[in-house]
Chain A
């Protein structure tokens, strides 16, 4: 028996036929091994669909794990820093988790499907981590990444789209989840900071769901969107991203790249009162020390996004002293601000910072030192994101 060699590069995901058809830009990227659109048509249009109508985004490449059993809650509590007991059935909770030294591995969302049933969604591969966490505990772990397709439907008309598609979700508050039809899970969650939902369905029903939403959404301005538009929205909304704003310690060749929740500004998600969890003892000790560096949001002068810029402050004799770097940056079309996530040295907090931005002006590179001030965590998170029942437009 012979077989063809394993294929290289990203492969089509569950929505690929539709994405392919919708793609005029033909601009594809590799998201966790799945062929994913950077944009389908034009990033700007797709971004404004998120902020003004409804955008439909394939998020199937997210890793999805099922943890089930009488001690499933204990398994997750062993892993994540927050108290999973506080997530009621039918609710979704944000969580992050750390290695033994208290360095962040990844963050994601925990769906409590029932008292003893959970789903964990995240970016990094966590199968063996979860399996090992379940050792000696009565719970089973399985990888649902391939079996489960996922769509994000985000934007002010997203509720109307669902309603028009015949899905009853009006009572869902933020972070609620429901199963309006057997096999279709809808959660009021998302990565855009706007009103929005995520839909989870077995891969074989993926295309039908897509068609149904597009059909229902036509009058509400629904538009398929790519990763770039989603990235813009999440920076505006102030959501840091593993692999960009910090490195998973599990992916870091240099151990010194590890970051604690405190350094990431996520200290409030660490619950020392819930008993032991991975890295708890290390974090207890770290809590007492001032963080060496901090992930902050900045508001930078000018309108050129400061992607990759190094950050400086004035040192002795007026010399520039490097104190950090920008991890993600965006000119926010909605907030009309030049925003960025940046990592800065602890002692540089509160200092006058400057971002070194390189501009290519008609064949010539120029350098600009742009003033960078502390910005709000979220440049744009509209109230409609939280209103229940949600607005229809």
Chain B
């Protein structure tokens, strides 16, 4: 038997960690190279995780049950009649029945069915553009599941998959916080409003229950190490090394060379290209990579109070819940318009959580380099619509713009998904045409971050898929 393959993984975010575990399980000797002092990457900015995906957990050797309890969502409403959502169930936060509950349930179940049909496309190679071996099993399973949906659901999936979240909400729900929540989830992390065609897709990717993000990074890192991956923290990749047109290792900032037969990068495609040097790429590939849209629109805001902040109508028992301030589709859509012109909306939409005296928020519709104080001001203006006077109680406020996030994590444009999730950057076109199978040109080099198929959120799927593609290529 040959020597053990060596693999280097760049970045110890969720995807780097999952990729490392999967590679280790596949028999590789793995080094994870992380610039930061701690693993986790952008997980540090997140509040809630729907993952990792069971397939990624399996690679890590973790059990789904080990992630802690699912937490509910409270869709905030300026009227104070907030709506408590637990999966397919919705009622007013005060316990009374919500008139839209039944429609919410029907819609949730339908989306669950569609998501299940879509699942085979996410956990493997995206559907091939030509009929060939890789990707075919996934495609066939997908085709089968589509058929099993029955003609009606199948047609409906093919329609709404191409449709937009605002229309979906308008057809299925009364306008208000529930519809707003749907719209919010369809564009969370993206730079597009819910009226943009293609925004139903993220909804289908976000069906798993939410859990707290805290501690998850450490657990994933430990699990990855448990599988045999070596974490090399505190030094970034400075260059990806090649020999005879094959990836050969990674040169670190501190001068160390990590030899490797396989290099997997969880950075964006453009960042990876820069590390490898453009001369190794065909000009068309370089152009496609340059054209990837990755402008973040999500900011992180932390507000500290003297005491746990009080939101009228919100039971303190729900402080640990996911709070979503997106009171209607009509509120979400226009919040996106100013971003296109580099301006902050008057009333951004957001999700957050109260931890003791701190309100932590992910604020949407923030232009890339918006000034921090302006982000905080807009955030407070929006919060005031549900909690008048809240702004006056803030002791300390901190904000990270997408530009800050980019500087901190290296994520392209500070983008949540390392690249916009849109139909023209999805499946076979993610991150770009011709690169969906994680290979991006030079042999031995693979993409395994959120920018790759099937995209971001804490799922670990790009990492898992990237590792599988790399292992397959060595076979």
Contact = CB atoms under 8 A, between A and B. Distances in A.
B245 A276 contact: yes
Given A276-B245, A281-B441, A136 B285 contact: no
A275 B245 contact: yes
Contact of B283 (A74, A133, A275, A281): A133
Contacts of B274: 136
Q: Which of A79, A129, A133, A276 has the most CB of B within 10 A?
A: A276
Contacts of B277: 136
B246 to A, nearest CB: 11
6 contacts: A78-B279, A100-B285, A136-B279, A276-B245, A276-B442, A278-B283
Contacts of B434: 100
A165 to B, nearest CB: 42
Interface in B272-291: 274, 277-287
B270 to A, nearest CB: 11
A261 to B, nearest CB: 15
Interface in A112-130: 129
A99 B282 CA distance: 8
B282 A278 contact: yes
Interface string B238-262: 0000000100000000000000000
The 3 closest A-B pairs by CB, nearest first: A100-B282, A136-B278, A100-B284
A387 interface: no
Contacts of B284: 99-100, 278
Contacts of A132: 283, 286-287
A234 B47 CA distance: 70
B441 to A, nearest CB: 7
B82 to A, nearest CB: 51
B279 A74 contact: yes
Interface string A89-104: 0000000000110000
Contacts of B245: 275-276, 280-281
A276 B283 contact: no
Residue of A129, A135, A275, A281 with highest tally of chain B CB at under 10 A: A135
Interface in A125-149: 129, 132-133, 135-137
A137 B279 contact: yes
Given A74-B279, A275-B279, A276-B281, 18 more contacts: A78-B279, A78-B283, A79-B283, A99-B282, A100-B284, A129-B283, A132-B283, A133-B283, A135-B278, A136-B278, A137-B278, A137-B279, A278-B282, A278-B283, A280-B245, A281-B282, A281-B441, A281-B443
B405 to A, nearest CB: 25
Interface residues of B, number: 17
A135 B280 CA distance: 12
Contacts of B285: 100
Interface of A: 74, 78-79, 99-100, 129, 132-133, 135-137, 275-276, 278-281
B279 A279 contact: no
Contacts of B442: 276
A36 B434 CA distance: 42
B286 A276 contact: no
A326 B434 CA distance: 35
Nearest to B244: A275
A78 B287 CA distance: 14
A129 B245 CA distance: 22
Nearest to A133: B283
Nearest to A134: B278
A276 B280 CA distance: 6
A276 B279 contact: yes
A275 B283 CA distance: 15
A388 B281 CA distance: 42
A227 to B, nearest CB: 31
Contacts of A74: 279
Nearest to A99: B284
Nearest to B287: A132
B443 to A, nearest CB: 8
A129 B441 CA distance: 18
Nearest to B284: A100
Nearest to B442: A276
Nearest to B285: A100
Contacts of B279: 74, 78, 136-137, 275-276
A280 B242 CA distance: 15
Most A CB contacts (10 A, CB to CB) among B277, B282, B285, B441 go to: B282
A135 B286 CA distance: 9
A279 B283 CA distance: 9
B263 to A, nearest CB: 16
A70 to B, nearest CB: 14
Interface in B224-241: none
Contacts of B281: 276
Contacts of A280: 245
B81 to A, nearest CB: 55
B29 to A, nearest CB: 27
A133 B279 CA distance: 8
A146 to B, nearest CB: 24
Contacts of B283: 78-79, 100, 129, 132-133, 278
A93 B282 CA distance: 22
A7 to B, nearest CB: 32
A137 B284 CA distance: 16
Interface centre among A79, A137, A278, A280 (most CB of B within 10 A): A278
A185 B329 CA distance: 69
Question: Which of B245, B277, B279, B286 gathers most chain A CB within 10 Å?
Answer: B279
Contacts of B280: 276
A79 B279 CA distance: 10
A74 B280 CA distance: 11
Interface string B112-125: 00000000000000
A186 to B, nearest CB: 32
A282 to B, nearest CB: 8
Contacts of B441: 281
Contacts of A279: 282
A34 B445 CA distance: 46
A117 B84 CA distance: 70
A137 B434 CA distance: 24
A276 to B, nearest CB: 5
A128 to B, nearest CB: 9
A217 to B, nearest CB: 43
B211 to A, nearest CB: 42
Contacts of B286: 132, 135
B369 to A, nearest CB: 24
A72 B274 CA distance: 19
A100 B283 CA distance: 7
B275 to A, nearest CB: 11
Nearest to B281: A276
A74 to B, nearest CB: 6
A133 B283 CA distance: 6
A312 B235 CA distance: 66
Contacts of A129: 283
Interface in B93-120: none
A281 B434 CA distance: 14
A129 B287 CA distance: 10
A132 to B, nearest CB: 5
Interface string B413-456: 00000000000000000000010000001110000000000000
A135 B434 CA distance: 21
Contacts of A78: 279, 283
B129 to A, nearest CB: 13
A129 B274 CA distance: 19
A79 B286 CA distance: 13
A129 B286 CA distance: 11
A278 B278 CA distance: 11
B150 to A, nearest CB: 38
A275 B282 CA distance: 12
